[in-house]
A and B are shown apart, each in its own frame.
Chain A
Amino acid sequence: MTDETQAPAAPASTPPYLAADDVGLVAPQDFVCPRAFTFKNGQELIGLTLRYETYGTLNATRDNAILICHALSGNHHAAGWHTPADKKPGWWNNLIGPGKAVDTRRFFVICANVPGGCSGSTGPSSLNPATGEAYGLRFPALTIVDMVRAQKLLLDHLGVAELHTVIGGSMGGMTAMLFAIEFPRFTRRLLAMATTAREGAQAIAFNEVGRQAIMQDPAWLNGDYARDGGPRVGLAIARMMAHITYLSDASMDRKFGRRTIQSREQSPELRAELAQQPATADFNLQFEVESYLRHQGQTFINRFDANSYLYITRALDQFDLDHAYGSLENAFAPVLAESLIVGFTSDWLFPPEQNRQIAQALLRASKRASYAELATDLGHDSFLLESEELYALIRGFLERVPAPTLDFAI
């Protein structure tokens, strides 16, 4: 997911966090697993913490909860603002809020940073209480199943009786699907977008380039870098490369074309960067798109941990429902949720075909499932798009009257 959360469109007089359809100021909270958490590979971790946010109120029957699952570089801050001075709201603020498609007047919305992450949940950069040092590569091997099981403990802690819906895009879509598989009686609806049931070779390949950029950086030090140091160059390059996979040829061309940085008004930061460039080199910053990617890389290293990047991309690589359950139909056999799978025409990271296969397998397994495909040219990140069509689809899925009987399976 890119860092391109849109600027709020509120009148200048009203601060955006006070807009009627905004969840407003929110504060993250921490959940500490009361018992040791056992990862899929058998390793245990004591004091596993998940940082999370909630919006809206859990109802008396405790069944109006919607879990939002974030993507690779996302976190628990899905909606609202931490302070009035924030430049950007949470990453899915356009979807979540009072009266929005995920209506917080109606639903109790939860979003948690995954284990292995670096936004407050326990991950490789957290201190191991036994040693007083960061876990680094001693953090247990991570899978999507671990993310699901840890978040289920959080939901139990919050008193959620069953999930009205689990929603996620990209890696969040994998998490959402596994929720419906691992906890079928708990998960009533599944909405997975821009995702895949099986991380393919191309996606693994991109992840590997990112990991190599990090691990070949001399500052990586086998993962034992200082908190304020680390493979900043490698992580920035990993992010620059990954960022391209979230966009599309058409959207990049529209946004940047072949425009050069000389042709635009230069910010003080850019002028400073240009001043540092050697006067002779022909490989200095030239094009807008280069400047943009460098900025994306620099922004990322200030908010993301390199070891978390290694762990989470590896968890993505391991994700293969066909292999894990024998077949996709077997994987989906326990699912009781009604599902909606959404693909985006210009997504070349998890193309429509991979999303369609999920829906087809659910249908073959006699589940209630729908597949919709939105025509966009924004690439993989289309799932974060401000689109009335997408909102209408999601709203229709969430708010329709539940079917009178359970025996609706096709």
Chain B
Amino acid sequence: MTQPVEKRTVDMQIIGDWVEPHTRVLDLGCGRGELLDYLVQTKHVSALGVDLDFAKITACVHRGVSAYQGDMIACMASFPARHFDRVICSRTVQELHAPATVIAEALRVARSVTVGFVNHGFWKNRLDLLVRGRKARNAVYTTAWAESRPANPVSVADFEDFCTAEGIRITRRAHLLGDWKTPCPALPNLLAGYALYDLTR
């Protein structure tokens, strides 16, 4: 399955553009540490990843990326305010148990927070449900219902409403079409396949 890998690269490039060199970055749900490794190589950041899986921590350690195995909220709680320059929460947003708590805690421990997610308002996802009456399946969410992890789908409109209600300032946004490459010209809640935000208090 090559497509998600390509999409991953686009994701990394945009985040890479937003990250300032020589800053402290915390990646929530860091996986095998690819993004942080990329940021270390290109932006010389001080990197820390958090993940729940022992094998993923092993992969991070092997590539020289510091990683912490455990709950992301508990991990952030152990740091003083503004310990990091940036917290990145990419692609994992819809799987968070308490997204509002995670984002609030991220905004406490860092100056800015980068959030990236698959837009469930994307027209194809709407059609899956409206026409086919089925759970959305796409290049990223390839699995059937029974094989999927619990998900709490979020759309561009949901997310922006949340930020407004919480008094969170959106300093940068990137909306990409379904190919996750082409910038989305208009109507992001309908036309964007992937959305990235930079947040601050």
* Chain A residues proximal to chain B, CB less than 8 Å: 338, 340, 356, 359-360, 363-364, 366, 368-375, 389, 392-393, 395-397, 400-403, 405, 407-410
On whether the beta carbons of B44 and A405 are closer than 8 Å, the reply is: yes
Segment of B59-67, B97-105, B125-133, B186-194 engaged in the interface with chain A:
B59-67
Quote the shortest CB–CB distance from A407 to chain B (angstroms): 8
Residues of B within 8 A of A366 (CB): 46
Quote the shortest CB–CB distance from B69 to chain A (angstroms): 5
B55 within 8 A of partner (CB):
yes
Q: How far is the CA of A405 from the CA of B46 in the complex (A)?
A: 11
On whether the beta carbons of B66 and A368 are closer than 8 Å, the reply is: yes
Residues of B within 8 A of A397 (CB): 61-62
Q: How far is the CA of A66 from the CA of B148 in the complex (A)?
A: 44
**Given known contacts A363-B79, A372-B54, A389-B55, A409 and B46 CB-to-CB distance under 8 angstroms:** yes
B72 within 8 A of partner (CB):
no
On whether the beta carbons of A360 and B78 are closer than 8 Å, the reply is: yes
On whether the beta carbons of A340 and B64 are closer than 8 Å, the reply is: no
Residue from A389, A408, A409 with most neighbouring chain B CB atoms (10 Å) = A408
On whether the beta carbons of B64 and A363 are closer than 8 Å, the reply is: no
On whether the beta carbons of B57 and A372 are closer than 8 Å, the reply is: yes
Q: How far is the CA of A273 from the CA of B176 in the complex (A)?
A: 78
**Given known contacts A364-B78, A374-B54, A389-B54, A410 and B61 CB-to-CB distance under 8 angstroms:** no
Residues of B within 8 A of A375 (CB): 54
Residues of A within 8 A of B137 (CB): none
On whether the beta carbons of B68 and A359 are closer than 8 Å, the reply is: yes
Query: Would you call the interface of chain B mostly helix, strand, loop, or mixed?
Result: mixed
Q: How far is the CA of A47 from the CA of B64 in the complex (A)?
A: 42
Residues of A within 8 A of B63 (CB): 400
On whether the beta carbons of B58 and A393 are closer than 8 Å, the reply is: yes
On whether the beta carbons of A370 and B70 are closer than 8 Å, the reply is: no
Q: How far is the CA of A375 from the CA of B75 in the complex (A)?
A: 19
On whether the beta carbons of A372 and B58 are closer than 8 Å, the reply is: yes
Q: How far is the CA of A356 from the CA of B77 in the complex (A)?
A: 13
Q: How far is the CA of A401 from the CA of B37 in the complex (A)?
A: 13
Further pairs besides A363-B48, A371-B70, A400-B61: 19, Cβ < 8 Å: A359-B68, A363-B68, A364-B78, A370-B68, A372-B58, A372-B69, A373-B54, A373-B69, A374-B54, A389-B58, A396-B58, A396-B62, A400-B62, A403-B64, A407-B44, A408-B40, A408-B46, A409-B46, A410-B26
Q: B69-85: contact bitstring with A at CB < 8 Å (1 yes, 0 no)?
A: 11000010011100110
Residues of A within 8 A of B62 (CB): 395-397, 400
Residues of A within 8 A of B58 (CB): 372, 389, 392-393, 396
**Given known contacts A392-B58, A410-B48, A370 and B67 CB-to-CB distance under 8 angstroms:** yes
Q: How far is the CA of A400 from the CA of B66 in the complex (A)?
A: 13
Q: B121-157: contact bitstring with A at CB < 8 Å (1 yes, 0 no)?
A: 0000000000000000000000000000000000000
On whether the beta carbons of B79 and A364 are closer than 8 Å, the reply is: yes
Please provide the 10 A-B residue pairs with the shortest distance between their CB atoms, ordered closest to farther: A396-B62, A360-B78, A410-B46, A410-B48, A372-B57, A393-B58, A371-B68, A396-B61, A373-B69, A372-B69
Quote the shortest CB–CB distance from A344 to chain B (angstroms): 11
On whether the beta carbons of B61 and A393 are closer than 8 Å, the reply is: yes
- CB-nearest residue of chain A relative to B59? A396
Residues of B within 8 A of A373 (CB): 54, 69-70
B47 within 8 A of partner (CB):
yes
Q: How far is the CA of A71 from the CA of B87 in the complex (A)?
A: 38
Q: How far is the CA of A363 from the CA of B69 in the complex (A)?
A: 13
Residues of B within 8 A of A359 (CB): 68
On whether the beta carbons of A370 and B61 are closer than 8 Å, the reply is: yes
Quote the shortest CB–CB distance from B52 to chain A (angstroms): 9
Residue from A370, A371, A389, A401 with most neighbouring chain B CB atoms (10 Å) = A370
Q: How far is the CA of A408 from the CA of B46 in the complex (A)?
A: 5
B24 within 8 A of partner (CB):
yes
Quote the shortest CB–CB distance from B44 to chain A (angstroms): 7
Residue from B22, B58, B63, B70 with most neighbouring chain A CB atoms (10 Å) = B58
Quote the shortest CB–CB distance from A181 to chain B (angstroms): 19
- CB-nearest residue of chain A relative to B49? A370
* 27 intermolecular pairs with C-beta atoms under 8 Å apart: A340-B61, A359-B68, A360-B75, A360-B78, A360-B79, A363-B79, A370-B68, A371-B68, A371-B69, A372-B54, A372-B58, A372-B61, A372-B67, A373-B54, A393-B54, A395-B62, A396-B61, A396-B62, A400-B63, A401-B64, A405-B44, A407-B44, A407-B46, A408-B40, A409-B46, A410-B24, A410-B48
Quote the shortest CB–CB distance from A109 to chain B (angstroms): 20
Q: How far is the CA of A405 from the CA of B57 in the complex (A)?
A: 22
